[in-house]
Amino acid sequence: MRRHSSLRSASLGAALALLALAALGALALAGRAAAGPTLAHPLSKRSFFDLQCKGVYDKSIFARLDRICEDCYNLFREPQLHSLCRSKCFTSPYFKGCIEALLLNEDEENLTQMVDFIGK
């Protein structure tokens, strides 16, 4: 009986991951026209302020959050996705979608604290 429930949990997890991927793809397509051109994204203080981050600049936190957007772009290869994920200092729905698509839900609370630290 335990094995059956663990298989069901695994199937449900896979289905949720696929649903998150589909939702992220739809968001990327919807936002493609609304997004501006993709710019270079160094981890400099200038890039930090260009993203409208008003909190404390911490290069390691900034790099961690940027890496999520980079990995998300590498997963979907959608040209605007990296900048959409980073927009509004990582507070856009695209960033949350990337967390789900990359199966980082367990780290979401920690990531939210990081966003709050650099964003406010």
pLDDT per residue as tens digits for the range 63-100: 999 999 999 999 999 989 999 999 999 999 999 999 99
pTM for the complete prediction?
Answer: 0.65
Domains, in order of start, for the chain: 2-119 (1.10.2010.10)
Spatial contact of 51 and 99, defined as CB atoms under 8 Å apart: no
Residue 53 backbone zone (phi > 0: left; psi -120 to 50: alpha; other: beta): beta
Q: 118 or 16: whose pLDDT is higher?
A: 118
pLDDT tens per residue across span 5-51 = 554 544 444 443 444 444 445 444 444 434 443 444 567 777 887 88
